[in-house]
Structure 1
């Protein structure tokens, strides 16, 4: 994700004809605020006509990545959803960018060890591709959910 690139604004005619290809959400840095971000992400995928089973997978990936950013990383954090097209398929690309790892773990101390660390496994299982980009001042974790075209 290129954070120097502005999110493309759309005029009313474009919004009716074709929902925006990129949607950017700032993340509140409290776990209680993430439900609203997830609902907004669900609405974006609904506008993009993503099949419900794939949208559910994408929303689980969104949940894992945004929770990781809020619990384990420094603010600010943001979620970017985009649609990307290849010759045979569409992909929903999910990117969560934060300011890098926190010096200490916040909020995970009361969880049992077997309840922790499954997020990356879930993301990898549901995604066609996923990865992490680390750079000066932050980290972006990303995943792509394939939506095959008929």
Structure 2
């Protein structure tokens, strides 16, 4: 699969790659760049919103729970004859958890990201490979 620059026209088989600086602010920056690609792809508004939420959850997971570097890969896919968007975030794997007591973690604010990804995706998964760990999801684009 070819890798495209941000200003390239969308072509089937092209993958857009966005490096993710290891900072919470980077999530919104990369999300905006991905939104520009989804707009070019003319996705229906509901599908684009679902893809953007999946992107946000997977990127945040990489920043909060994994070692850098991380990158978002965004591409078109076919899933059972239907158009889909494939979102994959690769990082260097889980970071050693910091010592935080359960009392300091607000369950209303944390811990549901991968459940959201599962709910919005037709398929999702995790791949561990020599380059790191990739969490991916395929969201129907219709």
Q: Aligning the two structures, in what range does the TM-score lie when normalised by the shorter sequence?
A: 0.7 to 0.9
**How is 1:28-67 mapped onto 2 (pairs within 5 angstroms)?**
28-67=21-60
Distance 1:9 1:27 in 2: 15
- Structure 1 residue aligned with 2:73: 80
Whole-angstrom CA distance in 1 between matches of 2:86 and 2:99: 27
Deviations 1:51-94 (A, max 9, x none): 11100000000000000001100000000000013563111000
In 2, Cα distance between equivalents of 1:106 and 1:145: 35
CA positional deviation for 1:141: 0.1
Change in 2 beyond 3 A, CA 1:86/1:121: closer
Q: TM-score, normalised by structure 2?
A: 0.85
Q: How many residues get paired?
A: 139
> Structure 1 residues 86 and 60 mapped into 2: Cα distance closer, same or farther (>3 Å)?
closer
Aligned-residue offset at 1:32: 1.2
Of 121, 134, 138 in structure 1, the residue corresponding to residue 132 of structure 2 is: 138
SS at match of 2:56: helix
The alpha-carbon deviation at position 33 of structure 1 amounts to 1.8
Unaligned runs of 5+ in 1: none
Q: What's the offset of the Cα at 1:22? A: 1.3
Runs of 4+ in 1 over 4 A off after TM superposition: none
Distance in 1 between residues matched to 2:99 and 2:73, nearest whole Å: 23
